Structure 1
Amino acid sequence: LPADPRHTAKPGRIRRLPGLDGLRGIAVAAVLIYHFFGSALPGGFLGVDVFFVLSGFLITALLVREYGHNGRISLKKFWQRRARRILPAAATVLVVCTAVAGILGGDAAVNLPPQFLGSLFFVNNWVQISEAHSYFADTTPQIFMHYWSLAIEEQFYVLWPLLFLGAILLARRLGVRSPATQMRWPAALATVIGIASLIAMIVLFNPDDDPSRVYFGTDTHAFGLVTGVVLALIVTAPSDLWPDSFPVMVRPRITKMLGWTLAPVAFIALVAMIIFLPDTAPFTYRGGLFVASLLTAGVILSVVRERGPVPVLLQWRPFRYLGERSFSLYLWHWPVVVFLLQELQDGPKGQETGVPDWGVGLIAVAVSLVLSELSYRYVETPFRRRGYRGVLDGLGEAKRMLPVPAAALTLTLLAGVALGDSPEHSELEEQLSSISKSQDMQNQAPPPAAGAADPGLPAGQDITAIGDSVMLASAPSLYQRFPGITVDAETSRHYTAGAGVIDTMLADGSLGEYVVLGFGTNGQAFDGQLDQIMAQLGPDHKAVLVVPYGHQDPIPTAAQQVIDYAHAHRNVYLAPWCSMISDHPEDLYDDGVHPNDEGGPVYADAVAAGLRAAKAGTQDAAVSCAL
């Protein structure tokens, strides 16, 4: 069939689509901004889902063209190409960053062996699920946490070619001879897998729990990949009879109209989701990620058809530059920011001698760009073009390259030492675990003997404190300051889980008259959620909201939320933790959020101030939080 020479692909290959590099560039930029300047781009995590759709599309298009050209697919060569593309850069980052973590020590060196091995064998996502790590609120930085998405993609690269071939062989056994008709079978299979994955995410998502399980899971997060698969099976020519790998099957006028109407709408909608969709919103896991995947597929289709303004925008050189280096940039950026946060902020966040978060973010951007450029030029590109043997032969022939093996051996030895010396838990994690184990015993202790009490404060047995890991870290001080108090605090807890605790205590009659709610570390309350909690408590209980402290997203917005809520409701009182601890950043752990042994009494003082106001029935309108 005749085709535009510009759109002619080599037999068995696909046409070069420069706009897809631009889409990769936008996706990786979104992820970097999300990790470096979280509050500036709440939905930046969707960049990973854009990568998923792109991967599913490109890999499947290559499989379709190879099958159409050869009548078969060489799985060995397919997996070899994937290994050449991914393993060198991924392994380089693993070894270098493990060695650096061992040298620097601190929290970055915690729990390295399962991170390293899980990433090396591309099961990082399942390792994190098994260890109950949170992508959205964790007390210790995992320097290879971002390898979860690479693990899902690699698992896809192993399984999908087998499923694709299985569907094709089944179609052939049933007498289907037309390549175009045969493609309907893997398309149907992929559709079923995608629907099942979406349903699994919706069913397994529990708004009362951290969403990391459904986010990390291959089973629950595969729909983005298969969205790209289905698109490729629809638009890719399964035979060399079509010189263009992506022939237009409808009238050019219709293609042009769609390029100027629906394609811009899909692109704008995707960008809007990246800007506004929160990572903790229930909608995100009840269809939001799938909607983003569908919008990405629409943008890819516009790039394939090369009609309208979207393909032109995506071919802008800065976008393409980032896209071409997106893999290395993604690999390097997260360890870089973890190391910089630990080393540049010499003490808690907010300390005057430390570098502010935005400063760390800017430095991280610069360092990541340099490292990704070096990785792209000297690791990715040589292995992709020449293969392992070609690169090794080149090293052997070039005497000036002899230091490279020596450096590689040194880094490998340092990484091995770091893995052997890596502590299993950080100091903060060990402290929180110890407090958590003693919490039930403290709550079940007999009421204290009557003694001198502060007349301005309620009795301890009339106080119930429910909160997250910040309250848990302060629990010993709360027990000491308010004998008889009940404290129910857990790590990674959101308001949603707190509401469930209130229901349970109301049912068994254990909820005190004064209820202290210490949340915000893991996200602000959803719309209307504070009203629902107040309705739960009813007129017989008085609520004290702890104003959270911490410079990283989402704590500042959560702090302002409780301040605004209390100012609008006369029966809600504030514990000024934010303003009281901001003058004593040395009383926090290095994460700048959780109180240490000296910070616990400050937290108790803040709670006491809120309880004093609640007992007097007088709000302190001067409570603020300068974050």
Structure 2
Amino acid sequence: MFQTPRPVESADARRLPGLDGLRALAIVLVLAYHLFPGLAPGGFLGVDVFLVVSGYLITTLLLEEHGRSGGIALRRFWVRRARRLLPALVLVVTVSAGLAALIGGDVLVGIGWQLVGALTFSYNWFSIATGADYLTQTSPELLRHLWSLAVEEQFYLLWPLVLLALLAIPRSSIRIALVSALAISSAAAMALLTGDPALDTAAASAAYFSTLTHGFGLAAGAALALLRARRSRVTAGPARARMLTDVGGVLAGLGLVGLSLVLTIDGAATYRGGLVVAVVLTLAVIASADRPESRLTTLLDAPLPRWVGERSYGLYLWHWPVIVLLGAQLPALDRANLGDTWLLGVIALTGSVLLAAASYRLVESPFRRAPHAAQPLTLRALAAVGALALLAAASTAVAQAPPRSEAAELIAAGRLAVEESQRRTDRPAPRDEEPAATVGSTLPSGDEITAIGDSVMLAAAPQLQERFPGIAIDAVVSRQMRQAPQIVRSLVESDRLRGTVVLGLGTNGPIDPETLHEVRALLGPERTLVLVSAQAPRGWTEGVNADLVDFARTYRLVELSDWRAAISPRLSLLAPDQIHPGPTGGQVYTETLVAALQRIADLPPLVDYDENPGLHRPR
């Protein structure tokens, strides 16, 4: 007679020392990165910590099962994973889609493919296929954070099969070498395929999303588990060695925190070794904690870290939809202002903690602890209700979803206006398009101005063209200040750079003041330069604007068009992303530029003391 094998300990019941505390550190880094811009610029590495922990934990459990029974019960493993992940995921997706349908607008853009990607654990591949840009994070998708859950679930699906094949190899050293080579190959592929993240965000985003190029953390964790299994018994060792190992683990944990303060999502170092360092540090923490008499384990398994770590999955699921929905519902909060940024983050954090705690107690734990053979009737009823609620919320959200975001519409309209203007460059502007006379000194006309900018300038292009007919606008989405010298040099060499240059770059990343000096040198002493300040809910904008102000004070023919100050009291004139101006916002953008040009036009002429020897040169 067939007998059901005795269930082995699941990944949910079996706890390895210190892993909950390490999960707590990972989710804190992620929350700091997403909810408090600028606090931990590299906090996204918390995801890589999660990946290493998952690779290590799952491989350890599968190896222990194989050691006990001589095989791996694949169906039971996959059912356990589904029971662990799906209930909370379905709840979050249902509530998020339902609330998004009530709010409407930008939060529903692309919701159809997001739902399919989330519920089939293929979100990362859908993101790559649709060209989702992880680096700029403008008008972010409601469920964007589920890309990492997709990577993990793909690992859960395939890794047990791969591990069974590896276990057929008699020598453990070969198994470890193969998995280590897999990790190294994945990391190398990310480094090679990323290019310059600041210039090619599409390639960097694809490398970041892909399981093939961002799976090295999972493979590294698995390799450590194989190495640990090779040493069938880990002894405590001498007291001095234990102390040194504990200190090494603590330093590795502090190294993760320090790394989160220096890495940036658009920095080449992140993709060419930065994330690998994070993985190595995580391995060091695990190796230090998962051994007898580890004092580091006592720290990591303290009540608070353990509580947070146990709920880290729910915190990860909830925090991103909460911040996106709050940002859409409370557009009056200026996230570019530090105080309001932290206020919104605190509200989102509070809501995320409460939702995660409720989910853990009422949804995750009941489903996870259900008997293996059959779930109780109440859980089956809850599952049925959840499925119906998900279907209703998803259908409503998809039916109401706009084809693209408001910001994308504004950018597209601006791009169309620029292209139409370029087609008409050989036609003289009609007399009735000329601007009205300005009080004071004469401003440059449109055919005397070259404007170089990013998507913000594109959105304001129709208003700029109306005020300055014939203005030459060279604006591209996601452009950064570091590209300015090359653009200016090309225009100078082709004799297409006009006497007044407007530079509107700073929205998409920090700037180096040396870049501004290089641009000024390329312009020469006879040209005028106007710098446009940046308005964006980004951690770097305050630093960008401070650099622009300092630079404008350095040169006589450099002026600041303070777009940030002009639009801050009127954020309702921007798209929901609080970056791109609508038509009235475009007028504010243009009027601010006019004021800056007027200040330059009103400057008194320079005195030539050599031609006027009677004048006293100021000391």
TM range (shorter): 0.7 to 0.9
Find out whether 1:148 has 2:147 as its counterpart. Answer: yes
After TM superposition, give the deviation of residue 600 of structure 1 in Å. 0.5
Residue in 1 aligned with 2:111?
112
Tell me if structure 2 keeps the 8 A contact 1:443–1:485.
Answer: no
1:427 to 394, 406, 410: 406
Q: Secondary structure at the match of 2:186?
A: helix
Shift of 1:341: 1.5
Query: Contact 1:66–1:72 (CA<8 Å) still a contact in 2?
Result: yes
Q: Which residue of 2 aligns with 1:219?
A: 212
Equivalent position to 1:378, from 345, 362, 365: 362
* C-alpha distance in structure 2 between counterparts of 1:316 and 1:297, whole Å: 20
SS at match of 2:503: strand
Q: What is aligned with 1:294? A: 280
- The 1:348–1:12 alpha-carbon spacing in structure 2 relative to 1, beyond 3 Å, is closer
Deviations 1:207-244 (A, max 9, x none): 31223222222222112222212221212357xxx4x5
Aligned to 1:209: 200
Change (3 A) 1:185 1:87: farther
Matches within 5 A, 1:233-252: 233-237=226-230, 242=232, 247-248=234-235, 251-252=237-238
Structure 1 counterpart of 2:4: none
Aligned to 1:265: 251
Q: Aligned pair in 2 of structure 1 residues 376, 499: CA closer, same or farther (>3 Å)?
A: farther
Q: Which residue type is aligned with residue 44 of structure 1?
A: G
Equivalences for 1:86-485 in 2 at 5 Å? 86-169=85-168, 171=169, 176=170, 181-182=171-172, 184-205=173-194, 206=196, 207-210=198-201, 211-237=204-230, 242=232, 247-248=234-235, 251-253=237-239, 255-305=241-291, 310-345=296-331, 347=332, 349=334, 356-386=340-370, 390-395=374-379, 406=385, 409-446=388-425, 448-449=428-429, 456-485=442-471
Q: Unpaired runs of 5+ in structure 1?
A: 1-9, 397-401, 620-627
Assess if the C-alpha contact under 8 Å between 1:31 and 1:48 holds in 2: yes
Looking at structure 2, the residues matched to 493 and 444 of structure 1 have their Cα atoms a distance apart, in angstroms, of 23
Cα deviation, 1:346-382, whole Å, max 9, x if unaligned, reads x473799xx9332222221121111111211122112
Equivalent residues of 2:315, 2:356 under 8 A apart: yes
Amino acid paired to 2:179:
A
- After superposing the two structures, state which structure 1 stretch, 527-536 or 490-499, moved more: 527-536
Aligned length: 585
| Change in 2 beyond 3 A, CA 1:597/1:144 | same
Q: What is the RMSD of the two structures over their aligned residues, measured on CA atoms?
A: 3.1
Deviation at 1:101, TM superposition (A): 1.2
Structure 1 residue 98 displacement after superposition: 1.2
Q: Higher mean Cα deviation, 328-337 or 512-521?
A: 512-521
Which of 489, 494, 498 aligns to 1:512? It is 498
| Contact residue 49 and residue 224 of structure 1 kept, 8 A | yes
Of stretches 609-618 and 459-468 in structure 1, the one that deviates more from structure 2 is 609-618
Does the CA-based 8 Å contact 1:260-1:307 persist in structure 2? no
**Contact 1:124/1:147, CA 8 A, preserved across alignment:** yes
Distance apart, 1:542 and its partner CA: 4.1
Aligned-partner SS, 2:370: helix
Contact 1:64 1:237 in 2 (8 A): no
Q: Distance in 2 between matches of 1:502 and 1:595?
A: 25
Deviations 1:460-487 (A, max 9, x none): 2332222222111101111122222211
Identity %: 39
CA contact (8 A) 1:351 1:586 kept: no
> For the residues of structure 1 that align with 2:206 and 2:604, how far apart are their CA atoms?
43
Secondary structure (helix, strand or coil) at the match of 1:491 reads coil
In structure 2, do the counterparts of structure 1 residues 562 and 120 end up closer, same or farther at CA, with 3 Å as the change threshold? same
Contact 1:348 1:588 in 2 (8 A): no
- Give 1:22 shift: 1.0
Q: Which residue of structure 2 lines up, in the alignment, with residue 79 of structure 1?
A: 78
Would the alpha carbon gap of residues 412 and 391 (structure 1) be closer, same or farther in structure 2, given more than 3 Å must change? farther
Equivalent position of 1:5 in the other structure:
none
CA deviation vs aligned residue, 1:298-354 (integer Å, no higher than 9, x gap): 111111136665433322322211110000110011111111112233x473799xx
Q: Which moved more, 1:450-459 or 1:336-345?
A: 450-459
User: 1:139 touches 1:429 (CA, 8 Å); kept in 2?
Assistant: no
CA distance in structure 2 between the aligned counterparts of 1:131 and 1:277, rounded to whole angstroms: 26
Distance in 1 (alpha carbons) for counterparts of 2:240 and 2:399 = 62
* Contact 1:259–1:309 (CA under 8 A) maintained in structure 2: no
Distance 1:389 1:38, change over 3 A: farther
TM-superposed CA distance for 1:36, in Å, is 1.2
| 1:252 to 1:51, Cα distance in 2 relative to 1, 3 A | same
Indicate conservation of the 8 Å contact 1:576/1:609, yes or no.
no
Taking the aligned partners of 2:560 and 2:271, their CA distance within structure 1 comes to 32
Distance 1:615 1:313 in 2: 65
1:31-55 superposed Cα distances (whole Å, 9 cap, x missing partner): 1121111122222111111111111
Q: Is the 8 A contact 1:49 1:289 kept in 2?
A: yes
Letter in 1 for 2:182: I
Decide whether aligned partners of structure 1 residues 502 and 308 sit closer, same or farther in structure 2, where only a CA change above 3 A counts: farther
SS for the counterpart of 1:89 is: helix
Distance 1:313 1:407, change over 3 A: closer
Give distance in 1, aligned partners of 2:63 and 2:518: 53
Moved more, 363-372 or 102-111: 102-111
SS of the equivalent of 1:40 reads coil
Alignment-mate amino acid for residue 117 of structure 2: G
Partners of 2:145 and 2:320 within 8 A in 1 = yes
- In structure 2, the CA distance between the partners of 1:203 and 1:567, relative to structure 1 (3 Å rule), is farther
1:227 and 1:365 mapped to 2: Cα distance? 31
Say whether residues 1:547 and 2:526 are aligned partners: no
Q: Which amino acid aligns with 1:313?
A: L
1:604 aligns with 590
Letter in 1 for 2:57: L
1:440 is matched by which residue type in structure 2?
Answer: E
Distance 1:389 1:412 in 2: 27
Displacement of 1:519 in angstroms is 2.0
Unaligned runs of 5+ in 2: 1-7, 606-619
Distance 2:257 2:295 in 1: 15
Contact 1:357 1:552 in 2 (8 A): no
- Aligned CA distance change for structure 1 residues 73 and 534 (closer, same or farther; 3 Å): farther
Query: What is residue 624 of structure 1 aligned with on the other side?
Result: none
In structure 1, what is the Cα distance between the partners aligned to 2:336 and 2:549?
Answer: 23
Distance 2:336 2:224 in 1: 51
Paired letter, 1:197: S
Question: Does the Cα contact within 8 Å between 1:138 and 1:492 map onto a contact in 2?
Answer: no
